[in-house]
């Protein structure tokens, strides 16, 4: 394949790695819509329980599970991108070897 495809995948891999690190730091920007809604719901429920003077354990667990599911999703994306990059590199190497072997000798 072309080098442009490999460079595009490299950029996507770097972006996904940045998202994964941001999720591990507790940032919300890399989360998708449903994950953001779940986090907001848990935060509101937790703050409501704090105001009432009750425990926030369930809300904290919900936020933790949402964060871990986002990490799993981003790890799966990263694995898929690495696999696609490896496939492109292998295909490129095969094409290059075929060009060399079909030479004048």
Report the b/e string of 20-51 with b at 16+ CB within 10 A. Answer: bebbeeeeeebbeeebeebbeebbeebeeeee
| 14-65 pLDDT per residue, tens | 999 999 999 999 999 999 999 999 999 999 999 999 999 999 889 999 999 9
Given a cut of 70, whether residue 97 has pLDDT beyond it is yes
Please list, in sequence order, all residues whose beta carbon lies within 8 angstroms of the beta carbon of residue 54, skipping any fewer than 6 positions away: none
Given a cut of 80, whether residue 82 has pLDDT beyond it is yes
Q: pTM for this structure?
A: 0.84
Given a cut of 80, whether residue 93 has pLDDT beyond it is yes
User: Are residues 52 and 41 in contact, defined by beta-carbon separation less than 8 angstroms?
Assistant: no
| 59-70 pLDDT per residue, tens | 999 999 999 999
pLDDT (0 to 100) of residue 83: 96
pLDDT (0 to 100) of residue 58: 92
pLDDT (0 to 100) of residue 1: 53
pLDDT (0 to 100) of residue 95: 87
25 phi, psi to nearest 5 deg? -80, -10
């Amino acid at each position: 394949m072309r080098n442009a495809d490999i460079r595009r995948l490299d950029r996507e891999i770097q972006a996904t790695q940045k998202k994964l690190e941001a999720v591990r730091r507790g940032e919300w920007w890399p989360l998708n819509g449903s994950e953001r809604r779940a986090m907001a719901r848990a935060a509101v429920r937790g703050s409501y329980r704090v105001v009432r003077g009750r425990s926030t354990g369930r809300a904290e667990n919900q936020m933790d599970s949402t964060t871990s599911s986002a990490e799993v999703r981003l790890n799966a994306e990263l694995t898929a991108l690495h696999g696609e990059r490896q496939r492109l590199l292998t295909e490129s190497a095969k094409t290059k070897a075929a060009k060399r072997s079909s030479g004048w000798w």
